[in-house]
Amino acid sequence: MPEQIIKRKSRGFICINAHPEGCRQNVTRQIEAITSAPGGRRAGMRNVLVIGASTGYGLASRIAATWGFGARTLGVFFERPADGVKTASAGYYNTAAFHEFARRDGLFAASMNVDAFSDAAKAQAIEIIRKEMSRIDLVIYSLASPKRVHPRTGQVFNSTLKPVGKPFTNKTIDLDVGKVMPVTLEPASEQEVADTVAVMGGEDWEMWIDALLGAGLLAQGARTIAYSYIGPEVTWPIYRDGTIGQAKKDVDAAAHRIDAKLKAKLGGGAHVSVNKAVVTQASSAIPVVPLYLSLLPMALKSRGLDEGTIEQMRRLFFDYLSDGAKISTDEAGRIRMDDREMRADVQTDITRVWPEVTTENLRQLTAYEDFQCEFRSLFGFELEGVDYDAPVETDVQI
Ligand code: NAD
């Protein structure tokens, strides 16, 4: 395709295209956040597998492992390449930029654009690790998916974001029109709960670890981490106690099983890391959460505590996963990267303002405009330093 000028296209709030230069800039900024940290390159991981590696927490993890540790990474994701005049998805451009910079810096990277839930993905990863890498010492599981085709039965499961047991009424931002609206969400059926657990629960994580263990491709002391969220009470009916929360409880249970296997076989371990709420494609889709995400950064920034996705992963990788670092956990064995978000003073600020927010004062009382801008920046738009009037090549290769 000849180069084209790419302007943001949206369906309601969602961006349906992406800007390759903007995505490249996002990756550059994340690499800088890692390489500019004092202390230089760490030791602690050499070969890293990231499942869900193209956006959000998975991409930030991959960048932290690559530029923070010099690790060789295999990234697994499900993204759309460019098709004629249609741009590729943001995660595709992010990964193309990731490879460009890894090549520049002499760092090995391999990527698989496949359905991570399939047996074929596991077989292909095993092949790549066997031929091009060494035994894996860290597996990051960072998938966020609306659906899963079960590899053994072929059954298709769709995940839902609903409360469980009783309806939930609160306020949310209707992102399509930027209005604060009351919202009532009807409870999920038992089937919907089970289906969400099948998609976002721990079964696939365990299948990955079993496949790698079976192939003898996990290193002595190998560790694996899956990401989770708990959040404050205001979001519990839709998150912690909702369908997605049931899936996350299943991930906790899988962590205990995987931990026992890795301890016994390799002296390694499995953990769930509870990360802070950040703006990603996955989190913005959860009702009520965008309003919370418009208030949280204000409460954190006023105390000098705010972290974006890459800053969270820098702290996780440097403070918990470097050689000599100790993984401290809560009583349930989870790493708590949400410690700053969950501070009582931070949450008190949010609960104080929450009832007062209306459509009229949304832009004064909350950082909604920053939230909007951050969401668009996930697709490479509204970034400083990118010339959006210049034509760009959209059909890039990974
Ligand atoms: P995201 O939407 O930015 O990333 C999801 C990743 O999964 C992408 O790389 C995508 O390509 C990949 N993916 C989706 N379906 C796939 C499939 N079938 N096969 C292969 N790859 C697939 O999401 P995120 O917000 O970074 O979430 C990642 C994890 O972090 C989730 O477990 C989420 O619950 C957790 N988490 C997120 C937040 C938050 O605020 N965003 C907070 C805490 C924990």
Q: Is residue 237 lining ligand 1, measured as CB closer than 6 Å? A: no
Domains defined along the chain, listed by start: 10-377 (3.40.50.720)
Q: Is residue 277 lining ligand 1, measured as CB closer than 6 Å? A: yes
Protein residue with least CA distance to atom 28, ligand 1: 142
DSSP 8-state code for residue 86: B
Helical residues (DSSP H) of the chain, grouped into ranges: 20-35, 56-69, 90-104, 119-132, 190-200, 203-214, 243-266, 281-284, 289-301, 309-320, 344-353, 362-365, 368-377
Selection from 163, 170, 168 nearest residue 189 by Cα: 163
Protein residue with least CA distance to atom 12, ligand 1: 52
The span from the CA of 322 to the CA of 164, in Å, is: 39
Decide if 57 is catalytic.
no
Distance 59 CA to ligand 1 centre (A): 9
Protein residue with least CA distance to atom 5, ligand 1: 144
Distance 75 CA to ligand 1 centre (A): 13
Q: Is residue 293 lining ligand 1, measured as CB closer than 6 Å? A: no
Q: What pLDDT, on a 0 to 100 scale, did the predictor assign at position 16?
A: 94
Selection from 309, 338, 321 nearest residue 57 by Cα: 309
Protein residue with least CA distance to atom 29, ligand 1: 142
Helical residues (DSSP H) of 305-343, grouped into ranges: 309-320
Selection from 50, 98, 65, 58 nearest residue 317 by Cα: 65
Selection from 61, 24, 9 nearest residue 380 by Cα: 24
The span from the CA of 17 to the CA of 3, in Å, is: 15
Q: Is residue 286 lining ligand 1, measured as CB closer than 6 Å? A: no
Angle at 243 between CA 207 and CA 14, to 5 degrees: 95
Which residue do the tokens 């708590």 mark? 336
pLDDT, one tens digit for every residue, the chain (398 residues): 679 999 999 888 889 999 999 999 999 999 999 999 999 999 999 999 999 999 999 999 999 999 999 999 999 999 999 999 999 999 999 999 999 999 999 999 999 999 999 999 999 999 999 999 999 999 999 999 999 999 999 999 999 999 999 999 999 998 888 999 999 999 999 999 999 999 999 999 999 999 999 999 999 999 999 999 999 999 999 999 999 999 999 999 999 999 999 999 999 999 999 999 999 888 888 888 999 999 999 999 999 999 999 999 999 999 999 999 989 999 999 999 999 999 999 999 999 999 999 999 999 999 999 999 999 999 999 999 999 999 999 999 99
Pairing of strands 72-77, 147-149: unpaired
The span from the CA of 258 to the CA of 203, in Å, is: 10
Selection from 315, 374, 367 nearest residue 339 by Cα: 315
Q: Which residues of 287-299 are buried (b: 16+ CB within 10 A; e: fewer)?
A: bbbbbbbbbbbbb
Q: What is the pTM of this model?
A: 0.98
Q: Is residue 229 lining ligand 1, measured as CB closer than 6 Å? A: yes
Spatial CB neighbours of 260, under 8 Å, sequence gap ≥ 6: none
327 token code pair: 């993984």
Spatial CB neighbours of 32, under 8 Å, sequence gap ≥ 6: none
3-state secondary structure of 109: strand
How would DSSP label each residue in 208-267? HHHHHHHTT-EEEEEEEEEEE----GGGTTTTTTSHHHHHHHHHHHHHHHHHHHHHHHHS
Q: What pLDDT, on a 0 to 100 scale, did the predictor assign at position 125?
A: 98
* CA torsion, ordered 273, 279, 283, 284, to nearest 10 deg: 170
Q: What pLDDT, on a 0 to 100 scale, did the predictor assign at position 1?
A: 65
The span from the CA of 124 to the CA of 250, in Å, is: 26
